Structures are given as C-alpha cells and as structure tokens.
Amino acid sequence: MCGAKVGGPDASTIKPGETTIQGQVTRNGEPVTGYVRLLDATGEFTAEVPTSATGQFRFYAREGTWTVRALVPGATADRTVVAQTGGLAEVAIAV
C-alpha cells in the first residue's frame, strides 16, 4: 500500500504499527515536484507517488531494504533505505 498526503507528510498522521518511508526531494535546498518510486530489494517496481508542492512523499511498506527513486524534471536519484516493522524511515533526496 502506498500514498502521499496532499500538502505533504505529517508525522502526526502516522499510525502505530505501520512501516512508513517518507521524505523530501530537493534541488539546491529547494523543494522539487515530480514522482518518487519504491523499488524492492531486487529492483522490481512496487509503487509510485507524486511529490507534494513541497517535494514531500510517503510510502507504507513492509519491513525490508528498499530503493527510493526520485524522478524529477532533469534528474533522477536513488537512495537505499532499510524499513523496520512499525518504524519510520526518513529519506532526504537531493537531485
């Protein structure tokens, strides 16, 4: 399951027990709009969400190692994240 809150992620909306991967995409310190993909440990596409106007995104995922890929105008960047059950993994992606 995945989803992005309109207006960006807010830690107060995270539900106990959910595994959450969230973050922000920036360029030169400024938010960038585009899309963010979630790829599993084998590189297979799992989900995609648009960033908010402030470059933020959120996925709900199972425990494991994931690749978060930002796709924005003129750039692509990957970050690896390890998600723990019931935890919050914060990802900052500068493109």
Burial class (CB in 10 A: 0-12, 13-18, 19+), 68: buried
In tens, the pLDDT along 3-35 reads 444 444 455 566 666 789 999 999 999 999 999
Select the CATH number that applies to the domain covering 18-94 from these four: 3.40.50.880, 3.40.50.720, 2.60.40.10, 3.40.50.11540.
2.60.40.10
The pLDDT of residue 80 is 97
pLDDT band for position 48 (50/70/90)?
very high
The pLDDT of residue 7 is 45
43 vs 34: CA distance, rounded Å: 20
Global confidence as pTM: 0.81
Q: Among 26, 27, 45, 29, which residue's Cα sits nearest to residue 37? A: 45
Residue 83, number of CB atoms within 10 A of its CB = 20
Across the chain, mean pLDDT equals 87
